[in-house]
Structure 1
Amino acid sequence: MRSRARRAVLALTGAALASAPLTVSPAHAATAPGTVNVHRGGPARSLSFTARRDGEAVIGFTASAPGVSWDRKGAEAAVVSIAVDGRHVTDLVVPSSDPTPRSLGLGRVRHGRHKVTLRFARGSASAARRVALARTRVRMPAADQVALRHAPVVIGRTEGPLNDPYQNATTDTPLIAWHETRPAATPGHRVVEYSVVWSNEDGGTDSPALMARWGRTTDIEWIYRVEVDAKGRRVDGTGVYQAPAHQTLKFTGRYEGDHPLLQTCTQNNNMCDVIAKDAPLRFLPDVTATRPAERAREVVMDREPWTYRVMAQEMVREGKIEKPSDPATPAVGDQRAYLFAEFAKTTGIPTGTGSAPGVALGVRLKSGPSRLYRSDHDQPTWSIERDGAVAGTVELPEGTAVSDIASVEALRRPVGLGDNGAPATVTSINRGFFLDAAYRPRPSGVTWSGSVTVTRERPSAVLWRP
């Protein structure tokens, strides 16, 4: 009877596969029924599930680690190692004491019964003593089997200035991932691309430019792309990955089933297909999420508000936040003082030679001195040159709310020497929000659609007024 009380069983039916709750014995629930607690120095915990067919499985739960906070040195995170049938599949970095929804891949499982083992792992911060995993469930989403089948296993960074094999438990940790598909040249084939949101990048674009040009200080990178045939099978020789210096290289590394093994090998989270020996951390993200083609990549963060909190806390802990915040300087201030905006733009045909124009956003407030706050801080290379849906931020005085904004403007600015004369047209503001006291996005209060063109002769125009 005691051994049965130590197990929890989730039967996965062939179609639903998604939402049946995992019931946990109260003997394992120190905080609440249905919560699995994994303790430092304590025994591993295990749960069982039954797969009704072969396929890729995903585990989900609400994770919290009392005493942990990503903004405090020595308390950054707890790490849980997850194995399936005795095989180490993935690690989970838990950066908060607040319950946070998380999900990870478990890899391919055969029809039948399986055991998931959860262990408190090395790499955990000294302040971390326990991880609580509530509402644990395993699913095999039928619609996403191809995407899950080819998802890369990301091996943690082991080298660089930190020279720490567990460094992704304290810096540049992978938060969430997603996939996108598009038709391949061969009829019936598809190209599947995988991207990851990292908490920050220790190298590459500096933080002020990230805020201005990308609307966040996380690092978002595509990491692997592969062509699959009509049956979802990998087409040999089509796998490529984003290598150091943002090169696209052919994948020649090792696979686990159809999962390519890639390692974070640069300070800006680019990949290598040669894996360092004995690298301890590995991450198999849940890649079932997608994004609308007409939206910026940052929308995947909007769906997971906790990612903004981790983003901001890493900046605080690493001393990258200006104190006190001052929107007159280009340094990154308190991220709760920024308007986080996403807008859509296109660049027209040049009329001469010179550099292409970018677009920055400007904000005027209802009270105080008449002043234009610019997303690019009047730095030419910080305006946004790329077209489509893009994200940026505008730093404002601390305490500013959407109700304080008088207008949001489009500002045309060439990014280099000269001006090629091309117009730029803005057609929407998809969202505009501030972060709350806990660094989570407030509801969007700025949206607009229309068509406004800025030119060399008319370099600014109002997009939105309340």
Structure 2
Amino acid sequence: MRSRARHAVLAVTGAVLAGAPLALTASPAHAASPVRSAGSPGTINVHRGGPARSLPFTARRDGEAVISFTASAPGVSWVRGGAESAVVSIAVDGRHVTDLVVPSSDPIPRSLGLGRVGKGRHKVTLRFAEGSAPAASRVTLRRPAVRIPEADALALRHAPVVVGRTGWPFGDPYQNATTDTPLVAWHETRPAATPGHKIIEYSVVWSNEDGGTDTPALMARWGRTTDIEWIYRVEVDASGRRVDGTAVYQAPMHLTLKFTGRYEGDHPLLQTCTQNNNMCDVISPDPPLRFLLDAAGTRPDGRAREVVMDREPWTYRIAAQEMVRERKIENPSDPATREVGDQRTYLFVEFAKTTGAATGSGSVPGVALGVRLKSDPSRLYRSDHDEPTWSIDRDGAVATTVELPEGTRVSDIAGIEALRRPTGTGDNGAPATVTSINRGFFLDDSFLPQPSSVEWKGSVTLTQANPSAVLWRP
């Protein structure tokens, strides 16, 4: 989902600290030169208690820099207490810019902002940081590359710096190294009322939320156990400058407040300050962790926010592992209960719906999905577990999950149905129309999404008189 077009490549001009000179090769205009060091080309190892590692580069123009690599940490697993992650502190020219939380011994592709750099020579410094789990001893970064993306420069310029949740003055300042860690960011733009101006909105995916919506409701109403929130929105003029007084952020209680905090260049500083990952623009003293995620990506029009996770499949594994470690998973899994079971037993579905005009008073209707299996077509497995408030009343593309018996595959499904259900007392009579199933998949044995094998397009309208309809059959 990240644009690779028109990337201005940064020429790497030095050597990895304690390594051999870098081998420079000609690169196409849209790629970045690889980093090469003695013994392990294109690899940087950062050790606990070891020296900092450096990555010199030359910027051929002013702009917002981004560093990308695959990151792994031997002995680390987000599923195990005491082994959750390794943390790397990243600085540019001696200035702390961002931190990297590495939650896996398997390589994960990551991309982080480095902030604005001027034309000329610079140096990225990487240090093994406090907050790392006791089991972590090394972080390996493969194929590190620095670039200045020209096409996404405006989005990168105004991207927020997310300061880690500390629970100040009495909490753990390294909370995001073990729980609710920021995983992915993206932006969306729309025209502003003033011709030539744009509104840019930034969102973040966290690995979970320790407060707010409970886990079973997250799976039913949002199709995930991650937390996804917009965090910052700003209007910019035709030249890309921030319009004074337009910056807002999502504050505690999901309030939208004017941003009155501090900027680094055009980057606002926001702190995760609640258990459900809302923001504050007043930063606690000396917070150790900060995250400048690469927000250059966006999502396709007409798709649910969860598609951002689909494009970063490793996020599903991290989300599932956090549920296991925090003992939020029912064992053994039972689709007859409302508790969340093994996430590999769920069908993850995205569908699109609209709600018509009400014809009376009462609660709005939501839509849930039901699945029947070939082995027992009389039994209906519901995404809302027959809980009215767990049906989905928002319109557009939405995501949900349906818990099924362990071992179920798409080939075992007899049909998927849409189910109209009022979300509270009474029924206002509004029809609900479902127009598509955009994707449907299970997670594989390693908690990664399998290819989608459920798609449907059409138009089915659900009413009080006809509250259910079959959408898809194999």
* TM-score band w.r.t. shorter chain: over 0.9
Aligned to 1:72: 80
Residues 58 and 105 in structure 1, CA contact (< 8 A), matched pair in contact too: yes
Closer, same or farther in 2 for the Cα pair 1:112/1:377, shift >3 Å? same
**CA distance in 1 between partners of 2:223 and 2:165 (Å):** 25
Structure-to-structure mapping, 1:25-174, within 5 angstroms: 25-26=37-38, 29=39, 32-159=40-167, 163-174=171-182
**CA distance in 2 between partners of 1:417 and 1:325 (Å):** 31
Task: For residue 7 of structure 1, report the CA deviation from its aligned partner.
Answer: 5.8
Secondary structure in 1 matching 2:121: strand
Structure 1 vs Structure 2 CA RMSD: 1.7
**CA distance in 2 between partners of 1:4 and 1:408 (Å):** 59
Aligned to 2:401: 393
Structure-to-structure mapping, 1:4-43, within 5 angstroms: 5=19, 8=22, 16=29, 18-26=30-38, 29=39, 32-43=40-51
Secondary structure in 2 matching 1:384: coil
Structure-to-structure mapping, 1:299-338, within 5 angstroms: 299-338=307-346
Secondary structure in 1 matching 2:152: helix
Secondary structure in 1 matching 2:75: coil
Q: Which amino acid aligns with 1:156?
A: G
**How many residues are aligned here?**
460
**CA distance in 2 between partners of 1:348 and 1:149 (Å):** 40
Residues 12 and 50 in structure 1, CA contact (< 8 A), matched pair in contact too: no
**CA distance in 1 between partners of 2:412 and 2:377 (Å):** 13
| 1:223 is the counterpart of 2:231 | yes
Q: Which amino acid aligns with 2:185?
A: A
Q: Which amino acid aligns with 1:220?
A: I
**Once the two structures are superposed, what CA deviation does each residue of 1:286-340 show, in whole Å capped at 9, x if it has no partner?**
0011001200000000000000000000000000000000000000000000000
Q: Which amino acid aligns with 1:453?
A: T
**CA distance in 2 between partners of 1:311 and 1:9 (Å):** 38
Match for residue 372 of structure 2 among 364, 387, 408: 364
**CA distance in 2 between partners of 1:336 and 1:268 (Å):** 25
Task: For residue 370 of structure 1, report the CA deviation from its aligned partner.
Answer: 2.0
Residues 12 and 49 in structure 1, CA contact (< 8 A), matched pair in contact too: no
Identical-pair percentage: 79
Secondary structure in 2 matching 1:21: coil
Aligned to 1:273: 281
Residues 232 and 250 in structure 2, CA contact (< 8 A), matched pair in contact too: yes
Structure 2 residues without counterparts, runs of 5 or longer:
1-13
Residues 38 and 119 in structure 1, CA contact (< 8 A), matched pair in contact too: yes
**CA distance in 2 between partners of 1:318 and 1:245 (Å):** 24
Secondary structure in 2 matching 1:370: strand
Q: Which moved more, 1:274-283 or 1:158-167?
A: 158-167
Residues 10 and 48 in structure 1, CA contact (< 8 A), matched pair in contact too: no
Match for residue 253 of structure 1 among 261, 280, 291: 261
| 1:206 is the counterpart of 2:214 | yes
**CA distance in 2 between partners of 1:147 and 1:264 (Å):** 21
Task: For residue 21 of structure 1, report the CA deviation from its aligned partner.
Answer: 2.8
Residues 352 and 437 in structure 2, CA contact (< 8 A), matched pair in contact too: yes
**CA distance in 2 between partners of 1:123 and 1:205 (Å):** 27
Secondary structure in 2 matching 1:93: strand
Aligned to 2:428: 420
**CA distance in 2 between partners of 1:393 and 1:25 (Å):** 46
**Once the two structures are superposed, what CA deviation does each residue of 1:129-183 show, in whole Å capped at 9, x if it has no partner?**
1000001101111011110000000000000798100010000000000000000
**Once the two structures are superposed, what CA deviation does each residue of 1:340-362 show, in whole Å capped at 9, x if it has no partner?**
00000000111100000000000
Match for residue 363 of structure 2 among 336, 340, 355: 355
TM-score, scaled relative to structure 2: 0.95
Aligned to 1:339: 347
Residues 377 and 414 in structure 2, CA contact (< 8 A), matched pair in contact too: no
Aligned to 1:196: 204
Closer, same or farther in 2 for the Cα pair 1:251/1:122, shift >3 Å? same
**Once the two structures are superposed, what CA deviation does each residue of 1:372-423 show, in whole Å capped at 9, x if it has no partner?**
0000000000000000000000000011000000000000000000000001
**CA distance in 2 between partners of 1:117 and 1:9 (Å):** 19
Match for residue 186 of structure 2 among 178, 183, 202: 178
Closer, same or farther in 2 for the Cα pair 1:130/1:24, shift >3 Å? same
Aligned to 2:7: none
Closer, same or farther in 2 for the Cα pair 1:10/1:209, shift >3 Å? farther
Aligned to 2:443: 435
Aligned to 2:390: 382
**CA distance in 2 between partners of 1:252 and 1:79 (Å):** 30
**CA distance in 1 between partners of 2:213 and 2:363 (Å):** 21
Q: Which amino acid aligns with 2:292?
A: L
**CA distance in 1 between partners of 2:185 and 2:176 (Å):** 16
**CA distance in 1 between partners of 2:310 and 2:299 (Å):** 11
Structure 1 residues without counterparts, runs of 5 or longer:
none
TM-score, scaled relative to structure 1: 0.96
Task: For residue 20 of structure 1, report the CA deviation from its aligned partner.
Answer: 2.4
**CA distance in 2 between partners of 1:161 and 1:437 (Å):** 41
**CA distance in 2 between partners of 1:399 and 1:161 (Å):** 47
Residues 37 and 131 in structure 1, CA contact (< 8 A), matched pair in contact too: yes
**Once the two structures are superposed, what CA deviation does each residue of 1:209-261 show, in whole Å capped at 9, x if it has no partner?**
00000000000000000000011110111100000000000000000000000
Task: For residue 103 of structure 1, report the CA deviation from its aligned partner.
Answer: 0.4
Q: Which amino acid aligns with 1:311?
A: A
Task: For residue 368 of structure 1, report the CA deviation from its aligned partner.
Answer: 3.3
Structure 1 stretches of 4+ moved >6 Å: 1-4, 9-13
Task: For residue 34 of structure 1, report the CA deviation from its aligned partner.
Answer: 1.4
